[in-house]
Amino acid sequence: MKPLKDPLSGFSAKMKIAPSENIGNSDTGTGTIEKTRNKEDEPWRDALLCRQCMSFITRESSRTTVNGAHVHMFANPHGIVFEIGCFQNAAGCANSGPPSGEFSWFPPNSWQAVICASCLAHMGWRFLSPRQTVFFGLILDRLVSPGP
C-alpha cells in the first residue's frame, strides 16, 4: 500500500488555501471575488460579451487604466454621455470608419470607432497613441458577463 500523502512534504498542499478566500465578503463588491476565481476552470467567467448578441468581446483580465482610471465618462459632440472602461485589447471588436484626431477624449491619441464583429453594434473606440500603442475604450453598459 502506498501512502496517500506525499512523504516528503508530509501533508497536502491544498490545505494551504484559506477557506475564507472563497467565501468573500458580500459587502466589498465583485472585484475581489472575480480575481480569486480560477480562470482555468471557468474560462467564460472572465469573458465580457456583447449585450446585444452575446458574442465574445474582451476579458476582465484585459481591463486597464488610462490616466490613472479604468472608467471614464465622456460626452460626445451631440451631448450623449458614455461611461467607458479601458481595455488593453478587444478581440471581438472590428474597426469602423477611419481614424480621427478630432475631439479626442484621450489626446494626443487618435481614435477610431469599433463595433461588435458579430452584430455590428457600436461598442466603443480604439485609441492609438503617437507611439503606436493601442487601447480600447468600451461602453460599459454594452458589455455583459456570461451569467449562470
Residues that bind Zn ion (CB under 5 A): 50, 52-53, 55, 116, 118-119, 121
In angstroms, give the least distance from the CB of 137 to Zn ion: 17
Q: Contact 139/44 with Cβ under 8 angstroms?
A: no
In angstroms, give the least distance from the CB of 57 to Zn ion: 8
Round to whole Å and give the CA distance between 131 and 44: 33
Count CA atoms within 13 Å of residue 86 on its CB side.
17
Round to whole Å and give the CA distance between 39 and 52: 24
Nearer to Zn ion, 53 or 66 (CB): 53
In angstroms, give the least distance from the CB of 116 to Zn ion: 3
Nearer to Zn ion, 44 or 103 (CB): 44
Geometric angle at alpha carbon 40, from 144 and 24, rounded to 5°: 70
Nearer to Zn ion, 55 or 104 (CB): 55
Nearer to Zn ion, 128 or 143 (CB): 143
